[in-house]
Chains A and B, each alone.
Chain A
Amino acid sequence: MKTHWEEELKRAMSDQSEPFPGHEERFEMRLMQAQKPKGRTITLPRWPWMAAAAAVVVGLIVTLVTSEIHKANHMADDSLKDLHIPEIAAAETYYKKYATVDFNSLNTNDPRIQQFAREMKRLEDEYAKLSQLLAQNYNNERIAQAMVENFQFRLKIMEQLRKYIEIQNQLKNPNNEQQIAS
């Protein structure tokens, strides 16, 4: 049994407070966020795939432009020692071993090949800087991604170079002209 004082107090303290406007919309946002599946943040599994893809493309290039590619460049980049991602280190080693173009063995008077050489040099320099940056910022995904893209660009340039040399060889081969004429 409540006293008169208690009843008055109850009446006095009863309030019909409301949240700030827009709270229903804010709640819906909260519900949607709560139902979002927790996405994976680790992206390392991409590295083996990249290494495998790079190996396949590099293998093709090696077969087709054997004369232009040195097979034994074991030059180790100091920055590579600072890297602790085994996948990227393996891909880089493989790339350096089988996919380095010796432009000196090509016709360096050809302006098109000079252009390929400049672009490769620029990407190699950029890669060296990225390696140093990654060593300092080990968890920075954007740097790692830039390194992957750097590989991809270099592979594209090599593919274009291969096609260019193939066309040049066909043009120089007199049999081709005879085949076309017949």
Chain B
Amino acid sequence: MQLQPWDEIIAGCRNRSVAAQSTAYRQSWRVVFPAVYGLLRNREEAEDVMQDGYVKAFARIDELREAERFVPWMKSICMRHALDKLRAKQRQNKWFPDFEAHTHSEHAPDETVEWQSEQLTRVKAAMDQLPEGYRVVIRLYLLEDMSHEDVAEMLGITPGTARSQYSRAMKKLKQTVTELT
């Protein structure tokens, strides 16, 4: 697929051109979708949330200053949208549970050897078992390469809380992996 320059596409988007908006979507969803899907873990829901995010973002396209920043801007909007969705779902549950680390170093997963497929399966299963808030901070910090400050800003918590929640989340993850072993 030949990529069209972003400044041309965004100029069209500012004129409310459906063709330009469609092109912007086609050129960026491969970056945006995995991030949204990673948070929601449901393809149908992720598509709906992502597309809704795009439509809302196009309505405020004038807020985007640099056309070249469109993809991270859109990704951020869609991820916030996905987080709102998750929060709405989690309203009844605690976003971050009280957690006391019971991880014993002798039972912690081996951190030095290359992960084998069995270990991968266990880690993925453990991730699925994590409380939503823990899963989200791991995903944002580790997979999206966001700083603790950015994670904090996105989740509406302090950087200190983001850091400590990440630490707890990793302990919990390792504990769960060990239990599954």
Question: A15 interface residue, CB < 8 Å from B?
Answer: yes
Q: Quick one: which of B25-46 are within 8 Å of A by CB?
A: 25-26, 29-30, 33-34, 37-38, 43-44, 46
Residue in A2, A15, A24, A26 whose CB lies within 8 Å of B37? A15
Count chain A residues whose beta carbon lies closer than 8 angstroms to a beta carbon of B: 28
Chain B contacts of A28 at CB under 8 A? 18, 22
Chain B contacts of A9 at CB under 8 A? 123, 138, 142, 173
Interface of A is mostly: helix
Q: Flag if A10 contacts B18 (CB, 8 Å).
A: no
Q: Flag if A18 contacts B33 (CB, 8 Å).
A: yes
Question: B134 interface residue, CB < 8 Å from A?
Answer: no
Residue in A12, A14, A23, A32 whose CB lies within 8 Å of B47? A23
Listed in ascending order, the chain B residues whose CB lies under 8 Å from chain A are 16, 18, 21-22, 25-26, 29-30, 33-34, 37-38, 43-44, 46-47, 50-51, 54-55, 58-59, 109, 111-112, 114-115, 120, 123-124, 127, 138-139, 142-143, 170, 173-174
Listed in ascending order, the chain A residues whose CB lies under 8 Å from chain B are 2-6, 8-20, 23-24, 26-28, 30-32, 34-35
Since A3-B111, A24-B22, A26-B51 are in contact, a sample of 15 more A-B pairs with Cβ atoms closer than 8 Å, ordered by chain A residue number, is: A4-B112, A8-B115, A9-B123, A9-B138, A9-B173, A10-B142, A10-B143, A13-B138, A16-B34, A19-B43, A20-B47, A27-B51, A31-B21, A32-B18, A34-B58
